[in-house]
């Protein structure tokens, strides 16, 4: 399977959400179907499969839904900031490995960029999403756009699409 991206890692939450949701929904359906089949066979404990399988399926379904909703909200926030946020030109200062995460035995990378407020002199440091390769050669000494929500600098999107090349993973 060939995937194209601009260097961003695969959306793990979206994939996990679909997998967990499918397992949860399948478990609920199987648990109920088995319970109904047993009920019509005349067994007194016909509800037991639904009681055993049902809660497990429900947990998986809820987790899958939470993953999908959080990913959708993240994408919506990025779009909102791109369309209505204030664009800043930040200087790339560093690329670091995210030591808190391992994907296929490797640590993903993230880009740090800084922007200084002209009036107050306050320096704001922004961090990109995780990237599946070391992008230092493409971002070294570059400026990147950071979209912020009015004056709430904690709500931001560091846009690397204009700086990073298109990457094909085989």
CA distance 58 to 101: 28
pLDDT at 104: 81
For the record, the structure tokens of 20 come out as 């967990």
Predicted confidence band at 169 (pLDDT cuts at 50, 70, 90)?
low
- The whole-angstrom distance between residue 88's C-alpha and the CA centroid of its chain comes to 23
* In the predicted structure, residue 92 carries a pLDDT above the cut 90: yes
Which tens digits make up the pLDDT trace of 41-89?
Answer: 777 777 777 778 888 888 999 999 998 998 899 889 999 999 999 999 9
pLDDT band at 3 (very low <50, low <70, confident <90, very high): very low
Greatest mean pLDDT among 7-11, 16-20, 100-104, 148-152 lies in 16-20
Neighbours of 8 (CB within 10 A): 16
pLDDT at 15: 87
R_g of the chain, CA atoms, integer Å: 23
Residues 40, 38: Cα–Cα separation, whole Å: 5
More confident residue, 92 or 36: 92
- 135 and 164 Cβ atoms separated by less than 8 Å: yes
Instruction: Tell me: pLDDT of 7 over 50.
Output: no
Instruction: Find the mean pLDDT for residues 143-155.
Output: 91
Report the DSSP beta bridge partners of residue 39.
none
**Structure tokens of 170?**
């085989």
pLDDT at 50: 75
User: Which pLDDT belongs to residue 83?
Assistant: 93
Between CA 72 and CA 54 the distance in angstroms is 27
Residue 150: pLDDT band by 50, 70, 90 thresholds?
confident
What average pLDDT is seen over the chain? Answer: 85
pLDDT of the residue at 90: 95
And the tokens for 18?
């679909």
Q: What is the pLDDT of residue 94?
A: 94
Other Cβ atoms within 10 Å of 100 Cβ, number: 8
Phi-psi region of 9 (alpha: psi -120 to 50; beta: other; left: phi over 0): beta
Rounded Cα gap, residues 50 and 145, in angstroms: 52
Tokens of 3: 């995937």
As a whole-number percent, the residues of the chain with pLDDT over 90 amount to: 49
């Amino acid at each position: 399977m060939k995937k194209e991206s601009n260097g961003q890692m695969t959306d793990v939450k979206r994939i996990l959400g679909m997998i967990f949701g499918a397992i949860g929904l399948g478990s609920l359906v199987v648990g109920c179907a088995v319970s109904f089949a047993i009920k019509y066979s005349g067994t007194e404990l016909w509800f037991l499969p639904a009681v055993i399988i049902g809660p497990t399926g429900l947990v998986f379904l809820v987790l899958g839904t939470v993953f999908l909703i959080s990913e959708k909200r993240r994408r919506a926030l990025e779009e909102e900031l791109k369309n209505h946020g204030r664009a800043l030109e930040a200087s790339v200062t560093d690329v670091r490995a995210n030591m808190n995460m391992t994907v296929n035995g490797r640590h993903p990378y993230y880009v740090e960029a800084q922007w200084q407020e002209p009036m107050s002199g306050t320096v704001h440091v922004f961090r990109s999403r995780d990237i599946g390769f070391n992008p230092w050669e493409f971002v070294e000494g570059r400026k990147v756009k950071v979209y912020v929500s009015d004056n709430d600098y904690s709500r931001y999107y560091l846009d690397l699409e204009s700086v990073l090349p298109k990457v094909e993973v085989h």
